[in-house]
Amino acid sequence: MIIDTDILIDYFRGKEQAKKQLLKIEKRSISMVTQFELFQGARNKKELNLLKQFIREWAFNVYSINEFISFETLFLLEKYSLSHGLKMADSLIAATAIHYDEELITGNFKDFQFIKEIIVKKYK
């Protein structure tokens, strides 16, 4: 299951619900985009190192952006950006879920619910 960035942010903010949700997921995956977003949000070197350690210790499978994901992202943006306001980062995460045929769990359900090509699970 691909885990959206918002759940990991909640985990780092100490929200117990996020920790419980992560513990329930057997195969934890994230898009490289999520790793980008987390690293960009680090306020200092210590936080960055904690993020890197967290990803290693929780054994997240980090999916790189490949050619298929790039083209699928373009397709999703063309199909949904004007009609539903789909953003680039979200389209990359959705394209990753499509490519690896995995469900996506997110607290930002409204940002993904209209994408028919993936199964989106609600967090919260």
Q: What is the pLDDT of residue 91?
A: 98
What whole-number distance in Å separates Cα of residue 30 and Cα of residue 60?
7
pTM of the model: 0.93
Q: What is the pLDDT of residue 124?
A: 79
What whole-number distance in Å separates Cα of residue 4 and Cα of residue 17?
14
Q: What pLDDT band is residue 89 in, cutting at 50, 70 and 90? A: very high
SS3 87: coil
pLDDT tens-digit readout, 13-46: 999 999 999 999 999 999 999 999 999 999 999 9
How buried is residue 110: exposed, middle or buried, by Cβ count under 10 Å (0-12/13-18/19+)? Answer: exposed
Domains and CATH numbers, the chain: 2-122 (3.40.50.1010)
Residue 108: pLDDT above 90?
yes
Residue 78: pLDDT above 90?
yes
Q: What is the pLDDT of residue 42?
A: 95
